[in-house]
Structure formats: structure tokens, C-alpha cells
Amino acid sequence: MKAIILAGGTGTRFRPLTFTKPKPMLPLLNRPILHYIIQYLRGHGLTDIYLTTNYLKDQIMKYFGDGSSYGVNLFYPVEENPLGTAGSVKNIKNLDDTIVVIQGDNITDIDLGRLINFHKNSGGLCTIAVMSVNDPWHYGIVELEDIGKVKRFCEKPPLGNCFSNLINTGVYVLEPKALKFIPENREFDFAKDMFPILLEKGSLYGCVVDGFWTDVGKVDGYIRALEWMLEKNKIGISIGENVEIGKNVEIIEPIVIGNDTVIENNCIVGGTVIGNGCKIKENSDLRNSILFENSIIGNGSILKDCIVAEGCVSSSRLEINQNSIVGPNCNIGINVRITPDSRIWPNIHISQNSIVSGNIMKFFRMSESKGDPKWYLRRVLSGEAFYFNTSKNNHVSYTGFRANTLIDFSNILERVEIQSLHYHLRGNINDFEQWVRLVIGDAVLAWDFQKIKNEMLFADELRKKLIEKTRVRVNDLIRMM
């Protein structure tokens, strides 16, 4: 019997953390989510495991290799284009026995052996592991007949239309014959496309399971999995290798401290997971927070119920409040306060004395430039768009304007407030030049924006010059097409 882990999603629900890591590689207790899924499958005797992955797949392949260190055989099928959940399974060759499928964002202790036995006794082509929950409208819901045959299935219904509290957990058992209903080489999804076909043919079953299960593709599920793991493993204080802890440090259980981490004098850390290679400077207070690897928290900082991604560096007196996420490789100045429920995208510099609220977004390059006029004028992905932020009285926020094309950008320059233009050209920052150079790929306009920055223009003169250079370049590119 073979197992398949569906690990190809881009993790849009978990941005900004998934710009630099594929979702299955996000750390739980300083190990990737996939680590636990592979252990779970191996614990049920499944050692031939296929990983369907596309987005940032090299990170997964480099970390896990052939799976020998886990006592399993890992295989990485090649997908030229994303094929969806069911299409990626169809893409795997030589699936000639019963197949176990699990989502790459599931953390669970469902009894897989019981699920497999139910499936074999049902005689169906596919069995879904279904579980009773209090909020079924967030998931695909299932209604069963007495024998376990699926009577109705609906993917994420509106709150008022929930006919069942049984949900699809994303754990399936399939017979190879089920694969004949999946078309070759095109995107096809289990829940949206395949299950309706099997339901009509009377070959779709559901097995009610219990135990722990959560979808870690969302922040609340991720935190729930973390808390469950801490309790399940009875972790009080876990300290890695080569850790330095200063004087008068108060450690409150549960706490996980990664390798090569430094916690300086007079700090308080509790209910927190600190990644490898981090540094917590003196007089800081971290409660119920998660730090990914290689981040530095400045002295006198206070972090509560938040997540800080890898490679972040903060100066002193940083304050991060509940349910906020700081993306990878951010640089945060002195005396910055991040208000509850905020998200900061990767590579953003937050100036000293700033107050941050809401989503502060910045473009992130996700594709390589093709270097021609048509490419420069394309519509970019949402993650690559230019988000106009602003700062008023040190309060940093998103303006609501987003440019997906150079033409969008030109039009927004006319309407966005002057403070936003100055925010994106503050100090040594030139976000306009960076976006055009790194995402759009146009060195000519990037150079124009660099010259505008050097001219140190202000207010209407700045707006006029930015619009002029952008429109001239857009018209030139249109003529060259």
C-alpha cells in the first residue's frame, strides 16, 4: 500500500509566512509540518510515500531527501503544471494497490488502520475520513447513510446551509479503479470535481473517526496543533544544544528553545517556541509566541501571542500584540508598536517610533523576468503587486491601493495621497525602483525612479515626475509590442 501527501499548495491563507517557505515546511516545535505527517504514516506501516509538490519544492526535497533518515521511501513526481489535488495523484504512475491520501497541512492522530479496514469492508472506490466539529461551514461537509455511504457532500457551504456537522478531514483511502475518473494532464480536484462523480455512482463512503485533527494551513489550526503537541508530548522545558541563557531569566512552562539560541539577562519567556539561532536581548518579555529561526529581538521588547518569521531583526523596545504576524527578513527600528491582528509582509523596513496596524504589504518576486515589452506590461500575481502604504504621525497603514500592472501603477500615482509617495521613498528606501526592477523587470524605468529619488522632489513635483516617467515608459513599451 502506498501513501500520497498532497503538498503542492502555495499557502495563500498563511501569508506572509509562506512567501519564503512552502506551507508543509513551516516549523512546528522547530521541525517542519511534513516531519510529523511522515512520522504519522510510517507509524501506520506506510513506508512508500509520494509527495506531490510544486511550489518551492526544492526546499522539501533538500530537507527530506529520499526519506531514508525517516525509515521511509520518498518519491517526488514531476508536475510540469499544477494539476490540483486529484490530478496530481493521477500523475503518479504504477498505483496498482489501495492508496492512502493525506493533505500536507493535516496534523492528526486519526486511527488510519481503522479507516483502511472500513474502506476495504465497504467495497467502495473511495472512503473519506469524516469527523464531527462545531464549525462545519469552514470545511467540506458530508451526510452519511447508515451503512456509511455518502448521501450528500458540499464544499464549504454558507453558515445557514450546513446539513451536517461531519466534515471532510482531507484523509482518503482510494482504490486504483477510482483514478479512471480523473482526466489526464489537467487540473482536477477531489472535493470539487471527483467526489461528485463518485457520489453519483454510489462509490463514495465516509468513515466517522475521532481523535485529534486540525488543518494547520490556517493560523488558528496551526496554534491548535502546537498546543496539542506540547500537551501530548508533555513538554515542560525543552532546551536545544549550545543555548546560552543569561542571569535572572524567568522561564515559564511550556517552552521550547532551539539550538544555538541566546537569551540575555533579565528576560521572561513563557508558552513560547524559539527557533534555532535566535537571539533575545536583555529585559525582553515573550509570552505565547513563536519565533522562527535566526531572528533577533531587541532589548526591552514585549511579544504577546504573535508569530515572527525567520531572519527578522528588531531594535530595542519592540512591541508585538495579539494575533500579529511579522513576515521573513523584516527590519524593525527602535520603539515600534505592532497592534493586534496585524500582518507585515517579508523584507519590510519599519522605521523607528512607528505604530503599525492592519496589513502592511510589499511586493514579493515570484517569477523570473522574460525581458520583453509584453512581459513588462503584464498583470502580475497578487503577491507581486505593488501595495501603496502610508505613514501619518508615525502610524503606518495600507492605503487600499494596489497596482497589478504598470498602467494600474500610473493611474494610482494620480490618486494616492502624497504621504504614501514619500513613505515609499523615505530615507534609503526606494520601493518604486525595487518593484519595477525586481518584479516588472524593466531596468529603464527603474533607473528613472532612482534618478527621481536623487532629485529629492517634494509633494506635487514628486507626483508629477513619477507619473510623467511612468506614462512615457508605458507608451514606449506599447509601441514596441
382-418 residue pLDDT tens:
999 999 999 998 999 999 999 999 999 999 999 999 9
Q: Which residue has the higher pLDDT, 152 or 463?
A: 463
Give pLDDT, residue 267.
97
Rounded to two decimals, the pTM is: 0.90
Mean pLDDT of 4-28: 90
Give pLDDT, residue 139.
78
Distance, in Å, from the CA atom of 141 to the CA atom of 191, rounded to the nearest integer, reads 10
Give pLDDT, residue 234.
87
pLDDT in tens, 209-256: 999 999 898 888 899 999 999 988 888 999 999 999 999 999 999 999
pLDDT in tens, 50-107: 999 888 899 999 999 999 999 999 999 988 778 889 999 999 988 889 999 999 999 9
Distance, in Å, from the CA atom of 466 to the CA atom of 448, rounded to the nearest integer, reads 9
Residue 452 cell numbers, joined: 527621481
Give pLDDT, residue 217.
83
Residue 147 has pLDDT above 90, yes or no: no
Give pLDDT, residue 100.
96
Mean pLDDT of 351-368: 91
Mean pLDDT of 179-201: 90
Q: Could you confirm whether domain 235-360 is CATH 2.30.29.30? A: no
Domain ranges of the chain: 2-214, 235-360, 367-481
Mean pLDDT of 273-296: 96
Cis upstream peptide for 340 (omega within 30°):
no
Sign of CA dihedral 264, 265, 268, 271: positive
The architecture CATH gives domain 2-214: Alpha-Beta Complex (3.90)
The answer for residues whose C-beta is within 8 angstroms of residue 458's C-beta and 6 or more apart is: 422
